[in-house]
Structure 1
């Protein structure tokens, strides 16, 4: 059963929608005693595609964010933590892909999955109500935090994990150094108000880059000015609002000077925007950023370009993408995790 917050959301002043509480039913359906399966056909798991560290790490983020998790959700967190510690090598890098035969199909590396693994581990180390999860997660995070990736997105995800650790352990030197380096890897916004983004192209989970700069400005002495991260996020918000609803940069991205396409839109983009706006509220105390979270929640409930719900109330799963003709009805791990993550932020209105 899916609970509701009891509060409607009306970011555009339109019809009122009741916000459901986050459901872990489909996430449980996608999980087994090893980890979290990546893909589904509609709501049915596609086991042949195996598991990936990217999704398991995101699973650890959302299960660790639950303030009072039921036993089932705590078991999921333990399982995901076990997967990540198994994926990590002695030098702090991570495998990303595990087949259904329980064999790794790649070598340990420092791609985006490394960053997300540190994000998951950092969140568990800071927020899990279970001491044994916090302790093991912090050991694995510390080992991985000694490494650096050349990819700005990977560094941004890792930096978000470092920010979580620093909120609980302000003197954690490895987390402090990693957060500083993550903000540096993202870069400073440019002077052109038409394109202040540090990179010439928006790709995916774009708001995570702004979020890590905002977090670094709060948690690191001598970090980037808060205004830099807020300016990035404000511009991203403005270019993704269309007729009062959220219309996020599609999977194909958007390059400076090029025409912007509207589809296919991915739930991960919406979840990253909700996370960043929630962090902006926490750091600045400016409740105006809550409107961004409400727009993100409403995107899943039908406040989007097509005017259709992007989740299945019967399963608790999130749909994989928004096409010009409606949702892609497959309910894979990434989209379901994005739904849960976004709905978790709606608790601030309860």
Structure 2
């Protein structure tokens, strides 16, 4: 299986990016500038460009665009704006919603993994600004904790990052105690695996084995729930609650890439084969091992398709979907190389 893993292709991401940012939406493979840009996407752009090995000048250029965008999105308080129009005007006020958490995730990844010195130095300054505040949102805090874990992997004595990830760990609700539904929310919604991944990351960073084992247990439960036979069957746009069975649609690439991210992190601390298998299953979801047998990316452009539907595929290659396939294939390629 691993020998058939395609390499990430950055053509669509480059096509979607201008001097300001990466356009959020596409019509097929063509950008739709009228919908503008968002911090959520630019944070993900910085994640995938920072961790791409032997990155080219064009990929580094896009990383620079993302870093500048995130810096401009931040208020002095550390809160973040999310939406910018094609003319460069911000359309919302700073908040500590998901865009804030993803901003910290992107910046932390750049601090730990970028090959470019000025990117690492600029990212840590921006990270420290955003790390001044906290969010009431569990997902926003999970993304922020992932960013803090990345910073601490490179700078173990970084006080702001350690305070952030400690505050995250303290804020976690007690386990539900329900073996049938151990998830910390009443329903699965979107990018679900980030909640388990952040618990794993916090446990490892804080040297708290009970915490990382809790994250592994949650991830294992989610992976089982989102697996049908020999392929992934992810939670649809409408979410999934206790007793609801799949397959259900529309399925979004972000759910698959979040599962790949979490399984890749789990594999780094737990030798169980299921985690690498989870990453490879996520990659195979894009190449056709899914509920309808449809290919979910364009190997020519590298773009990810925007949704798997019961009756077909949404073939628009938007930025979130394109980043989802790039991210997933990055993890799968690393596993493929290790297994050779």
Please give the TM-score of this superposition, normalised by the length of structure 1. Answer: 0.93
Asked if residue 155 in structure 1 is aligned to residue 141 in structure 2, the reply is yes
Aligned residue in 2 for 1:319: 305
Indicate the residue corresponding to 1:218 in structure 2.
204
Of 129, 137, 158, the residue aligned with 1:143 is: 129
SS of structure 2 residue aligned to 1:201: coil
Unaligned stretches of 5+ residues in structure 1? 1-7, 10-16
Map of 1:79 onto structure 2: 65
Q: Are residues 1:209 and 2:184 paired? A: no
Q: How far off is 1:183 after superposition?
A: 3.4
2:48 is matched with: 62
Shift of residue 187 of structure 1? 3.0
CA gap of 1:307–1:49, structure 2 versus 1, over 3 A, is same
Question: Matched residues in 2 for 1:125 and 1:202: separation?
Answer: 31
In structure 2, the CA distance between the partners of 1:164 and 1:142, relative to structure 1 (3 Å rule), is same
Alignment match of 1:99 (pick from 85, 88, 92): 85
Q: What does residue 36 of structure 1 align with?
A: 22
- Count residues in correspondence: 336
- How far is the alpha carbon of 1:247 from its aligned partner? 0.2
Q: CA deviation at 1:227?
A: 1.7
Secondary structure of 2:4's counterpart equals strand
Given that residues 186 and 209 in structure 1 are in contact (C-alpha distance below 8 angstroms), is that contact kept between their aligned partners in structure 2? no
CA distance in 2, matches of 1:223, 1:47: 47
Q: Which residue of 6, 26, 34 maps to 2:12?
A: 26
Distance in 2, Cα, partners of 1:139 & 1:198 = 33
Q: 1:5 aligns to what?
A: none
Give secondary structure in 1 for the equivalent of 2:269: helix
Aligned to 1:181: 167
- Return the structure number with greater strand share: 1
Is 1:119 the counterpart of 2:105? The answer is yes
Distance 1:138 1:128 in 2: 11
- What is the alpha-carbon distance in structure 2 between the residues aligned to residue 324 and residue 169 of structure 1? 46
Residue 297 in 1 paired to residue 283 in 2?
yes
CA deviation profile, 1:222-244 (whole Å, cap 9, x unmatched): 57522210110010011111121
Q: What SS does the aligned partner of 2:147 have?
A: helix
Q: Shift in Å at residue 22 of structure 1?
A: 0.6
Give deviations 1:104-144, integer Å, cap 9, x for gaps.
01111111000001100000011101110000000000111
Match of 1:245 in 2: 231
Match of 1:279 among 265, 276, 279: 265
Q: Which of 311, 315, 318 in structure 2 is aligned with 1:329?
A: 315
- TM-superposition CA deviations, 1:160-197 (whole Å, max 9, x none): 11111011011111111211223344434322211011
